[in-house]
Structure 1
Amino acid sequence: MRIGIIGATGKAGSCITAEALDRGYLVVPLVRNARKLEDQDWEIVEKDLFDLSYTDLVGLDVVVDAFKAPEGREELHQKSLEHLISLLKGKNKPRLIVVGGSGSLIADRETGMRLSEKKDFPDTEKATAHNMEKALETLENTLDINWTYLSPSEHFIPKGTRTGNYQLGTDFLLTNHLGQSEISYADYAIALVDEIENRAFEGRRITACSK
């Protein structure tokens, strides 16, 4: 399987890249700066995301979108996904897997309140949460594209332990046996590559949490 990864040198993207390589898949980094990649015999597409064309994606089975918008340009979460949709809409391949946000997960089943609407949700994260939620809505309202959107838990831990265990849900915020909503980047990467293999949630948003 050939997996293209946008943002392969970022925090989430590098973990997903490592997990896919460990399983023997051919990873094609789709990056702006190939010099950030570790030395390896890569097949690379060195382009800005917004300069990608469908020709750059031909031959891939999956495209993982691990793009992270810079601070102050959070609207690029919407615009970047709109660009990818324009490339992939109506095409049989590649399938699109999006590294999503957690802010749009429902945190209160009774009221339907989303995580981003809670009083203690950090102000510094609200712009990202808003734009990632709008990007998800665009995906959900687009026909003729094969996608999965994977939200992490409330606490997404860059250097957390790789336990090899996780639980999956759909639109509701999950908690582990200690009542904590968290997952490490490494376990999130396992969940994402498992979904690439299993194709269990095509056309859906899902979320992953530690057990």
Structure 2
Amino acid sequence: MARIAVFGANGAIGRCVVTEALARGHRVTAAVRDPVRYQGLSTAVVHGDVLAEADVARVAAGQDVLVSAVGGGDGPGHLRLIEPAARSLVAGLRELGDASPRLIAVGGAGSLETAPGVRVWDTPGLPDRVLQIMHAHGDALAFYRTVADIRWTVLSPAADIGPGERTGTYRTDTDRLVIDAEGRSRISLPDFAVALVDEIEQPQHLGERFTCAH
């Protein structure tokens, strides 16, 4: 059993991660800005602002793994949250020194390669707002790749992530977009959570980014 704290636990990805981790018998703490609004899952809930380094350190203290599921959507404010959250998470964990837990952060698909030297964000016709979010995730990943004193992992979703069944199966790669035989790249929210909790239980990607898709 691992002790896991999840920032962004009230979002679609965060809630699936909490659900999956609880189902496997892990001890989970949900860190949200407004605990009163967090309902429906039987787990410990604490206040935590991912942009406050002191909050990160407080929430992470005593945990085995800190999960950041913030900035995964396209709602208002997410663009300003993504890269600053990465810096705050690392700074907060550094306050704990050798006692800091592992960090697993949800990334974006935009920087994944679709061909050598070509990335998802190079796809013609993408809306400016989507491109901005993709590049913000890319900036966060670039920052993590400068960090050598924190045990971090970034998990990028498929190009299409959304509601669906939990099959428990998925395929992975590191920096290349995972596609099926028909050229589609998709993962259900529950199976994305499966991949993330699998990484918690059996670390395979310390200090790197990986991705998953059906």
What's the TM-score once normalised by structure 2's chain length? 0.91
Distance 2:78 2:160 in 1: 22
2:107 maps to which residue? Answer: 100
SS at match of 2:21: helix
Are 1:31 and 2:32 counterparts? Answer: yes
SS at match of 1:107: strand
Distance 1:71 1:137 in 2: 23
Question: 1:45: how far off?
Answer: 1.9
Are 1:147 and 2:152 counterparts? Answer: yes
Question: 1:184: how far off?
Answer: 0.7
Question: 1:202: how far off?
Answer: 0.5
Are 1:84 and 2:89 counterparts? Answer: yes
Are 1:59 and 2:66 counterparts? Answer: no
Q: List per-residue Cα deviations over 1:143-181 (Å, max 9, x = no partner).
A: 211000000011112x12222110010000110233211
Amino acid at match of 1:197: E
Q: List per-residue Cα deviations over 1:29-79 (Å, max 9, x = no partner).
A: 010111222256532221322231413321111010001274255132111
Amino acid at match of 1:13: G
| Residues 7 and 31 in structure 1, CA contact (< 8 A), matched pair in contact too | yes
1:173 maps to which residue? Answer: 177
Distance 1:49 1:169 in 2: 28
Distance 1:59 1:11 in 2: 26
SS at match of 1:205: strand
Question: 1:85: how far off?
Answer: 0.7
What's the TM-score once normalised by structure 1's chain length? 0.92
| Residues 74 and 127 in structure 1, CA contact (< 8 A), matched pair in contact too | yes
1:198 maps to which residue? Answer: 202
| Residues 91 and 145 in structure 1, CA contact (< 8 A), matched pair in contact too | no
SS at match of 1:163: coil
What are structure 2's unaligned runs of at least 5 residues?
none
